[in-house]
Amino acid sequence: MFKNLKNDLPASVVVFFVALPLCLGIALASGAPLFSGLIAGIIGGIVVGALSGSQIGVSGPAAGLAAIVLTAIGTLGGFENFLVAVVLGGVIQILFGVLRAGIIGYYFPSSVIKGMLTGIGIIIILKQIPHFFGLDEDPEGDWAFLQVDGENTITELLKTINAIISGNISVGATIIAISALVILVLWSNVLSKKGRFFELVQGPLVVVVLGILFYLFTKETSIMITKDHLVSVPVPEDASSFINQFSFPNFSVIGNPQIWITAFTIALVASLETLLCVEATDKLDPEKRVTPTNRELLAQGTGNIISGLIGGLPITQVIVRSSANIQSGGKTKLSAIVHGFLLLISVILIPTLLNKIPLSVLAAILFIVGYKLAKPSLFKKMYSLGWKQFIPFTVTVVGIVFTDLLIGIALGLAVGIVVILIKSYQNSHFLHIEEKVDGVERIKMTLAEEVTFFNKGAILKELDSIPENANLTLDVRNTRYLDHDIIEILEDFSEKARNRNIDITLVSERGTVKNPDNYMEFFTLRPKV
């Protein structure tokens, strides 16, 4: 693990700067104490990072759970009661892992996973535009279309455009954001190729330092950045006040059915988000390593138990942090673990310094992350693969942008299933009409390897269209599974064939049968895979 320290350490710093505002923003959007988001980020990095089988995935508080958390805190009677649900949710996740439920992640089409990555990339860019110009009413980490500040993604952008036109933006935040973006682009495309120093020192670290210096040197000037445009980490006065930031679950409410319903909801949604992120992260991994999904559920469950016990938000593997890790050159899980320690050390030792980082600088960093996830060339590539790939991909992207992550994925998956059904309908059989011999039309129908009830309509239509006095050769030599519904159709057609003077020849691995009467008996003897 440590042989990749030169790659993992710089990557961990970038992930730290990406994770810091998101931990705070997700806690704010969830209606939870700000420190609870930091706890989840620390546990997600150190504990889950150590236990996970993913080499480049990074875990922490998830935006997809913010609405669930916000509602649950209110309905369960307080944050301490909610923490019980987080702990129980972790236990349920461990049970999912023991039951090997991690296999679910493999059943999502590649087009949907790529749509998820692209949709998240677009969302990151759209959501960071207001922060880029110092408009920070909506907290960082609020990725849903309907925002917690009462706006939505589109109206927030329109407000930003109006603010730019009317000059109601933070000039200082905008100046440093533009400077940071230029530096990041140059660092990535030009300077990183100019020597070892530029390889080891990441551009995000440079622009964060620049942002802090800009804030310090522009105080009391016309372009100063006010505190509401800076990171806001809780600053304890002493060790006692730091410890008091931790919350502990109120286990006296464990008998409340609503606690268990919330726990199961957290476990289900967190597990699904994690499995989808694992699938997506493995696709982004340059080394194409495969994460053991059941081990991941065990790791996430353990992390959620610990997070809930000390006052943290629910944890999942998160694509924004994971993609930032990959883009920054992270090679092993050490980068995720170190990022967790950086969060822990920084909130203990330098919270005041962290609170001098402009949010607009972090928005510039996230711009780069978002663009790399949603490159225009990917749309062109998906289009070139044909409508079977492009439509589920597009629906997933649009669904994520205009609803939220899980709804967008569900829409893409639904469309993907419809596409599969359509192709299954079309590919159930191949029909070849041979030339007429002595006035008799010869027709050959070859059934596919697997024919299910989805293919009933297509096969029934073809059989009904066969003219009277024809010869039908039914080739099932390649068919390994034939649904009972299809057998019934064939047996019914045998009766119609006699009335219409159609001769049927059944060709199989066992030989040739003329005008078979009992298809059921024939096919139940066939091996089914």
Are 383 and 452 in a shared domain? no
In this structure, which amino acid lies at residue 360? S
Euclidean distance between CA atoms 172 and 226, whole angstroms:
9
Q: Measure the CA–CA gap between 10 and 1, rounded to whole angstroms.
A: 15
The predicted structure's pLDDT at residue 528: 42
Counted residue by residue, the chain has a size of: 529
Asked if 408 and 459 sit in the same domain, the reply is no
Residues 6+ apart with CB under 8 A from 115: 392, 393, 394, 395, 396, 397, 400, 408, 409, 412
The beta strand positions in 395-451, using DSSP E, are 429-433, 442-447, 450-451
DSSP per-residue letters across 13-76: HHHHHHHHHHHHHHHHHTTS-HHHHHHHHHHIIIIIHHH-S-SS--EEE-GGGHHHHHHHHHHT
Same-domain check for residues 439 and 408: no
3-state secondary structure of 437: strand
422 domain-assigned: no
Region 60-79 average pLDDT? 92
**Digit-coded pLDDT (tens) for 474-490:** 888 887 777 788 888 88
Last residue of a domain, one of 350, 379, 412: 412
Query: Could you report the per-residue pLDDT of 36-66, keeping only the tens digit for each?
Result: 999 999 999 999 999 999 999 999 998 889 8
Task: Please state, as a whole number, how many other Cβ atoms lie within 10 Å of the Cβ of residue 191.
Answer: 17
Q: 412: Cβ–Cβ under 8 A, 6 or more apart, which residues?
A: 109, 111, 112, 115, 116, 392, 393, 395, 396, 399
Q: Are residues 403 and 453 in the same domain?
A: no
> Would 421 be classed as within a structural domain?
no
Judge whether 420 lies within some domain.
Answer: no
DSSP secondary structure letter of residue 134:
T
What is the pLDDT confidence band of residue 254, given thresholds at 50, 70 and 90?
Answer: very high
Answer with the residue of higher pLDDT: 375 or 2. Answer: 375
**Dihedral angle of Cα 69, 71, 76, 80, to the nearest 10 degrees:** 30
Say if residue 64 is in the same domain as residue 177. Answer: yes
pTM over 0.75: yes
**Within a domain: 183:** yes
Name the domain boundary from 355, 384, 412. Answer: 412
104 lies in the same domain as 159: yes
d(CA 381, CA 260): 45
Whether residue 113 is found in the same domain as residue 139? yes
Of 278 and 432, the structure prediction assigns the larger pLDDT to 278
**pLDDT value at residue 310:** 97
What's the pLDDT score for residue 417?
87
Model confidence over 443-464: pLDDT tens digits? 888 887 778 777 777 788 888 8
Mean pLDDT of the chain: 89
Compute the CA torsion angle 140, 142, 146, 151 (nearest 10 deg): -10
Q: Are residues 446 and 379 in the same domain?
A: no
- Residue in 157, 140, 144 with CA at minimum distance from that of residue 357: 140
Q: Tell which residue, 1, 116, 44, has the closest CA to residue 296.
A: 44
Q: Are residues 218 and 350 in the same domain?
A: yes
Of 412, 444, 474, which closes a domain? Answer: 412
Looking up residue 452, the CATH number of its domain turns out to be 3.30.750.24
- For 334-393, the pLDDT digits (tens) are 999 999 999 999 999 999 999 999 999 999 999 999 999 999 999 999 999 898 899 999
What would the two tokens of residue 117 be?
Answer: 């990555």
Tell me if 419 is assigned to some domain: no
CB count, 10 Å around CB of 420? 14
What confidence score (pLDDT) does residue 521 get? 56
> Same domain, yes or no, for 20 and 154?
yes
Asked if residue 43 and residue 152 are part of one domain, the reply reads: yes
- Could you give the CA distance from residue 145 to residue 402 in angstroms, rounded to a whole number? 5
Question: How many domains does the chain fold into?
Answer: 2
Please list the alpha-helical segments (H only) found in 218-333: 239-243, 257-284, 293-309, 319-327
How many of the other CB atoms lie within 10 Å of CB of 450? 17
Residue 272 lies inside a defined structural domain of this protein:
yes
Confidence of residue 201 (pLDDT cuts 50, 70, 90): confident
286 with 404, same domain? yes
Measured in whole angstroms, the distance separating CA 160 from the mean position of its chain's CA atoms is 28
Which residue range is the domain that position 213 belongs to? 2-412
Q: When comparing pLDDT for 193 and 114, which is higher?
A: 114
CA dihedral 419, 393, 123, 206 (to 10 degrees): 150
Residue 418 lies in a domain: no
